[in-house]
Chains A and B, each alone.
Chain A
Amino acid sequence: MSPLLEIRGLSVRFDVGDATLTAVRDLSFDIAEGQCVGIVGESGAGKSQTFLAALGLLAENAKAEGSVRYRGREILNVPRRELDTLRGRRIAMVFQDPLSGLTPTLRVGRQIEEAARRHLGMNARQARAKAREMLETVRMPDAEHCLDAYPFELSGGMRQRVMIALGMICRPDLLIADEPTTALDVTIQAQILGLLAEMRRELNTSIVLITHDLAVAAGLCDRIMILYNGRLMESGTTSEVFTSPKHPYTAGLLASLPSLASDPATDLPAISGQPPDAFVTTPGCAFAERCLQVMDRCRIERPVLAAHEGRHAAACHLNTK
């Protein structure tokens, strides 16, 4: 069986004046049916651009190379029209800032109704009922009132519920959620994560959760991909990656997180230095400058990781000695 989404050798470059910025570098991985995959990395690691590229939503100055297949069908760089049948129907996206996905001048009810009419061919009455049903599905407090509200009248958590309602209206195979809870308060974040887990259990939707927050990914995801400098550093099941990380970067990230169990009397084991520049491409390992276990070989030879094999693997020479 072919995976739901098959990404091979994906690169994304931006033309900025006379320089080229490489946001995504030769990425290959799969998203299997029914899975929830966490795409974890720091800002600028290329998490968002990977999926914007897959959905044909890159900025004007961007160029994508490689291959992205949805159920075996190539979708990278195909004409927009071809993607329109996928986006919003088979694949839905939810962003950090839900306002960016909503029309400010239209009542929430109208926006969901329009999606129902456009994607499901419903008449006005059916669409109205569908809008209410969707708001109830996402457990909107006071759904009735929300139908008549404008986006700006809703709180961040409520807007995110509206985005999820809009995204789930066609029961997509894949929901891509890009930092869906980053702008939310912690108790509201808990509500939205709970909702995503529920959607997944009830509708069996595959989810890609893009996040900088390892802890957010830990609870929800089956698999984790760690991105750094546009490259895949580690891939494995959530428990493999969290309990026995193979890449020094992953291990460093996990160690540097303060948790409720960490000892406040000792310093946090921080990763030193800064993430590398997206304008520069080094021949070796992107993490070499910050890695405590760096070897001569790391600076000249790039470690590779082919994650589509589905096993726990890391792009690190320590694993291929």
Chain B
Amino acid sequence: MTGPLLTVESLCVDYEQRRAGLFSSRARTLRAVDGISFELAEGETLGIVGETGCGKTSLGKAILQLVKASAGRVIWRGVDLARTDAETLTRLRSELQIVFQDPLSALNPRMPVGEIVSEPLRVHAPDISAKERQAAVAAMFERVGLRTEMTRGYPNEFSAGQCQRISIARAMITQPRLLVCDEPVSALDVSIQAQICNLLRRLQRETGISILFISHDLSVLRYMSHRVMVLYLGRLMEIGRRDELFDNPRHPYSRALIDAIPEADPNQSPLGMADALPGEIPSALDPPSGCVFRTRCPIATPECARERPPDECIAESHRVSCHHWRQARSQ
């Protein structure tokens, strides 16, 4: 395999926000993803972490062409997805699949789950026979840890964990090469989260699929990812190999996120945690000038308000967007 499977270049996603006034309706632009670039290799999992509204979901959807990028490029196996013809896009779409956070609402309540799982095959492999389709669905059910006789049931007959297995089966049935998992375990009980994490890891071992794993939970993310990307208000703050990023975070925001994770450790006191990262996340409609993190950053300087920090490559596959990353506390 030469070159990355997926290349994302300076990707931007804008949403028009209409505010209806009495005499006028004013349109404002909310930039949800702001100039994000990265690459993803075959068989690799890139974890994407950040707080509410940092653009995780928009980024995932823009890569899958489910929302339109306003600038930048998504290059999948050499093809610029936004600029290719409809036929190629349809063909490549079967290689790109998504699993959502809320498993029950992602499944059509009036369809037997076996049909839900076979649906993508109808679209992407219309030539195979009904019998072959059935066999593929049955095999997929077993692979995700469901019994084949469950295919006849309806979504509401299943638990949240089983629904997430069904979603994963539906995503995997076209043998995709990229799976975008958008908070796939966040709505699940603790005892079920580990089951789904293990399932995704096993599927990756078996198929060599690449995964974009979106999560707000750094402990889960660390466990699932080879590399990690930290976002804040639509921008990339830091990206690097998992161990590098967790052991030696260079961006003040990455550091704060890691510090804020509660650990199952009775000796950890939350007193003082309040100071780990003070302040609120600013509105994406009105982001701070310069570095978007500056209103909460413990080491911000006037320069940070004036100038947007560049994405700086500080080591092989380790990029940081901070004017003062050298000063950022590393332990």
- Taking Cβ atoms with an 8 Å cutoff, the residues of A that contact B are 42-43, 139, 141, 155-158, 185-198, 201, 212-216, 218-220, 238-239, 242-243, 252-254, 256-260, 262, 264, 267-272, 274-275, 290
Residue of B nearest to A192 (CB): B274
The contact of B260 among A189, A243, A269, by CB within 8 Å, is A189
Other A-B pairs beyond A198-B274, A275-B191, 8, CB < 8 Å: A42-B191, A186-B260, A189-B262, A190-B276, A191-B277, A258-B220, A260-B222, A260-B263
The contact of A193 among B242, B256, B262, B264, by CB within 8 Å, is B262
A141 to B279 alpha-carbon distance, docked (Å): 7
A155 to B283 alpha-carbon distance, docked (Å): 10
A256 to B261, Cβ gap below 8 A? Answer: no
- Residues in A with CB closer than 8 Å to B262 are 189-190, 193, 213, 215-216, 218-219
The contact of B191 among A201, A258, A270, by CB within 8 Å, is A270
- Residues in A with CB closer than 8 Å to B264 are 214-215, 218, 242, 254, 257, 259
A95 to B224 alpha-carbon distance, docked (Å): 31
B258 to A269, Cβ gap below 8 A? Answer: no
What distance in Å separates the Cβ of B313 from its nearest Cβ neighbour in chain A?
25
Residue of B nearest to A187 (CB): B277
Can you sample 9 A-B contacts with CB below 8 Å? A141-B279, A155-B280, A190-B260, A190-B276, A193-B262, A252-B191, A257-B190, A260-B222, A271-B191
The stretch among B57-65, B66-74, B171-179, B193-201 that forms the contact with chain A is B193-201
What distance in Å separates the Cβ of B28 from its nearest Cβ neighbour in chain A?
17
- Residues in B with CB closer than 8 Å to A271 are 191, 194-195
- Residues in B with CB closer than 8 Å to A193 are 262, 270, 273-274
A218 to B265, Cβ gap below 8 A? Answer: yes
Q: Known contacts being A187-B260, A194-B275, A258-B223, is A243 close to B270, with CB within 8 Å?
A: no
- Residues in B with CB closer than 8 Å to A243 are 266
Q: CB of B269 within 8 A of chain A?
A: yes
- Residues in A with CB closer than 8 Å to B273 are 190-191, 193-194, 197, 219
A194 to B271, Cβ gap below 8 A? Answer: yes
Residue of A nearest to B223 (CB): A258
The contact of B257 among A157, A186, A197, by CB within 8 Å, is A186
Residues facing A in B206-245 (CB within 8 A) are 216-220, 222-224, 242
The contact of B223 among A216, A239, A262, by CB within 8 Å, is A262
What distance in Å separates the Cβ of A184 from its nearest Cβ neighbour in chain B?
9
- DSSP majority for the A interface? helix
B222 to A258, Cβ gap below 8 A? Answer: yes
The contact of B219 among A188, A252, A253, A257, by CB within 8 Å, is A257
Residue of B nearest to A183 (CB): B52
The contact of A256 among B194, B217, B269, B275, by CB within 8 Å, is B194
The contact of B198 among A141, A157, A185, A267, by CB within 8 Å, is A267
- Residues in B with CB closer than 8 Å to A187 are 51, 256-257, 260, 276-277
The contact of A268 among B194, B261, B270, by CB within 8 Å, is B194
A212 to B188 alpha-carbon distance, docked (Å): 10
What distance in Å separates the Cβ of B270 from its nearest Cβ neighbour in chain A?
4
Q: CB of B3 within 8 A of chain A?
A: no
Task: Tell me which of A191, A196, A243 has the highest count of chain B C-beta atoms within 10 A of its own C-beta.
Answer: A191
What distance in Å separates the Cβ of B101 from its nearest Cβ neighbour in chain A?
13
- Residues in B with CB closer than 8 Å to A198 are 271, 274
What distance in Å separates the Cβ of B190 from its nearest Cβ neighbour in chain A?
6
Q: Known contacts being A43-B189, A194-B275, A242-B264, is A219 close to B269, with CB within 8 Å?
A: yes
A216 to B256 alpha-carbon distance, docked (Å): 17
A256 to B190, Cβ gap below 8 A? Answer: yes
- Taking Cβ atoms with an 8 Å cutoff, the residues of B that contact A are 51-52, 159, 161-162, 189-195, 197-198, 201-202, 216-220, 222-224, 242, 246, 256-281
Task: Tell me which of A218, A238, A258 has the highest count of chain B C-beta atoms within 10 A of its own C-beta.
Answer: A258
- Residues in A with CB closer than 8 Å to B257 are 186-187
What distance in Å separates the Cβ of A156 from its nearest Cβ neighbour in chain B?
8
- Sorted nearest first, the 9 A-B pairs with minimum C-beta distance are A194-B274, A270-B194, A256-B194, A185-B51, A258-B223, A193-B270, A215-B262, A42-B189, A268-B194
A259 to B194 alpha-carbon distance, docked (Å): 12
Task: Tell me which of A139, A155, A186 has the highest count of chain B C-beta atoms within 10 A of its own C-beta.
Answer: A186
A274 to B268, Cβ gap below 8 A? Answer: no
- Residues in B with CB closer than 8 Å to A42 are 189-191
A194 to B162 alpha-carbon distance, docked (Å): 36
A201 to B271, Cβ gap below 8 A? Answer: yes
A269 to B224 alpha-carbon distance, docked (Å): 14
- Residues in B with CB closer than 8 Å to A201 are 271
A264 to B198, Cβ gap below 8 A? Answer: no
- Residues in B with CB closer than 8 Å to A155 are 280-281
- Residues in A with CB closer than 8 Å to B259 are 190
A240 to B274 alpha-carbon distance, docked (Å): 26
What distance in Å separates the Cβ of A251 from its nearest Cβ neighbour in chain B?
12
Residue of B nearest to A186 (CB): B260
A258 to B193 alpha-carbon distance, docked (Å): 10
What distance in Å separates the Cβ of A258 from its nearest Cβ neighbour in chain B?
4
B191 to A253, Cβ gap below 8 A? Answer: yes
- Residues in A with CB closer than 8 Å to B258 are 260
A214 to B203 alpha-carbon distance, docked (Å): 28
A91 to B256 alpha-carbon distance, docked (Å): 34
A141 to B269, Cβ gap below 8 A? Answer: no
- Residues in A with CB closer than 8 Å to B193 are 256
- Residues in A with CB closer than 8 Å to B52 are 156, 185
A188 to B242 alpha-carbon distance, docked (Å): 24
A187 to B260 alpha-carbon distance, docked (Å): 5
Residue of A nearest to B267 (CB): A239
